[in-house]
Amino acid sequence: MQPLLRTIKAPSFLLIGFLFATACASAPARPPVQIGTGTPRVEPITGPVEQPEEGVDVTELGEPEDLTQVRGDGGLTPAFMEGRKIKRAAVLLPFSHPNAQVRAEAESMLAGIELALFQYAGDDFLIIPKDTAGKTSVTEARLDEAVQEKANVVLGPLFGANVKAITERAQDKKIPVIAFSNDRTAAGGGAYLASISPEEEVRRMVEYAAANGIYSFVFLGPQSAYGRQIETALRTEAFNVGGTVLTSAFYMPETGATEAARSVSGILKSEIATRPRNKVAVMIPERGVNLLSIAPLLPYNGVDMTHITLMGTSLWGDQSIWREPTLDGAVYPAPDPDNLTTFREAYRRIYGKTPTDLAAVAYDAAAVAVRLAAEDNLKYNGVTDPDGFFGVNGLFRFRLDGTSQRGLAVMQIRPTGAEMIEKGASQFGPGPS
């Protein structure tokens, strides 16, 4: 981190209409530093819904007097940037969403984008934050504004429905969209999803299992959109490595997993008796207290856990679950923790608070945009560089279908905490993304 970063205070969205970065004279001669994601997200983010504060109307805030706009190239240009060949990134996030958690997420993501700019951009890169309020119609209007202001790339939106709403218009104008949804159906048509998808997490777990001689899998999870997404991915990835899903058991979250666990336990005991030299991987995509109540049901129903490898998703990156004896030795995927630690420390030093996981995703997306802009390659074939990028969340690249491929690490749970037992990939093999 450059010394300059230790003196910059967090800008307020309510006080500025756009931001610029002057930390570096030129873009770095290396790929952008780690890009982070974190735990899978259910859209929309849940939590207590609050109404916006009375008296605050983001549509009436206007722009600060000292940022007079000129239009030297027909696009949005602050006076102090007149005469420069500017690259512009429109940042579409729900700053005025009625849900307090969503608003906080958007603000943290904007801070992550600023941090990347302060660290990597020169004096010719402009970000233009725009409030979508989380609404499709508003997002479409903000995209139209970004087109008029000559945006070269869009960072955002956050929700899959909003991504879908702007993809065609952005594609018509040849503007890449680097979005933050983890809804794979929103990818494609010039929209690229920066978030770590549940499918990528499952892929990492199945490949790790196969590398350790495990080709039999069992699914035990909730009857929900997320649970079905994980189960479908497990079947796909098991097939890809020549493995088999022995059984899938779903349970209703409100009624508990007792019966589903009993059914799975019967299958596991039969498999162990038939093939005692083989291990079975059991995928449980749960979190917190739910996971603590479900995992022990397997040994309770007579399953010999020495023949079982429990696997989870990034939901398991929660120290409150790590002392459960049943989870000793269980594995889950995650970005390299060392990379994220560096990012989080820098963020806290500058902004005085802990970043959200998506702040790291936004940081990486901005770093990619800055890197490509410096190479005058802020276009589709630049975004889909088959060599990929290396960010705070490790190695990644965007596939042609708009999804992202990740080089995730593997973490193992121990009573003393989670330990990284396998680092993420440092480079992709040859071939298309």
Residues 138-151 pLDDT 10s: 999 999 999 999 99
- The percent of residues in the chain predicted with pLDDT above 90, rounded, is 75
Let me know: does 296 contact 385? Beta carbons within 8 Å.
no
Q: Quick one: pLDDT at residue 8?
A: 30
Cα–Cα dist 319/418, whole Å: 8
Of residues 67 and 188, more confidence is placed in: 188
Q: Quick one: pLDDT at residue 26?
A: 30
Q: Quick one: pLDDT at residue 126?
A: 94
Cis check for the bond before 3: say yes or no (omega within 30 of 0): no
Q: Cα torsion for 89, 94, 96, 98, to the nearest 10°?
A: 180
Q: Quick one: pLDDT at residue 78?
A: 80
Average pLDDT of the chain is: 84
Q: Quick one: pLDDT at residue 4?
A: 25
CB-count burial class (<10 Å; 0-12, 13-18, 19+) for 192: buried
User: What mean pLDDT do residues 147-168 have?
Assistant: 97
Of residues 363 and 432, more confidence is placed in: 363
Q: Which helix (H) or strand (E) holds 350?
A: helix 337-351
Q: Which helix (H) or strand (E) holds 337?
A: helix 337-351
Strand ranges inside 199-334, DSSP E: 216-222, 244-251, 280-283, 308-311, 331-334
3-state class of 424 per DSSP? coil
- Rounded to 5 degrees, φ, ψ at 44 are -75, 165
DSSP state of 90: E
pLDDT digits (tens, 9 = 90+) for 126-138: 999 999 999 999 9
Cα–Cα dist 168/259, whole Å: 46
Of residues 38 and 265, more confidence is placed in: 265
Q: Quick one: pLDDT at residue 431?
A: 59
Cα–Cα dist 106/96, whole Å: 9
Q: What is the 3-state secondary structure (H, E, C) of 91-146?
A: EEECCCCCEHHHHHHHHHHHHHHHHHHHHHCCCCEEEEEEECCCCHHHHHHHHHHH
Kindly report which listed range (40-49, 108-117, 214-223) carries the lowest average pLDDT score: 40-49
CB-count burial class (<10 Å; 0-12, 13-18, 19+) for 76: buried
3-state class of 49 per DSSP? strand
For residue 429, is pLDDT > 90? no
pLDDT digits (tens, 9 = 90+) for 25-83: 233 333 333 333 333 333 333 333 343 333 333 333 333 333 344 445 668 888 777 87
> Which residue is listed with tokens 């390659």?
377
- Which two tokens mark 315? 């939901």
pLDDT digits (tens, 9 = 90+) for 298-351: 999 999 999 999 999 999 999 999 999 999 999 999 998 888 899 999 999 999
Q: Quick one: pLDDT at residue 428?
A: 87
Give the closest residue to 118 by CA, choosing from 193, 21, 37: 21
For residue 421, is pLDDT > 90? yes
Instruction: pLDDT band for 395, please (50, 70, 90 cuts).
Output: very high
Q: Which helix (H) or strand (E) holds 205?
A: helix 198-211
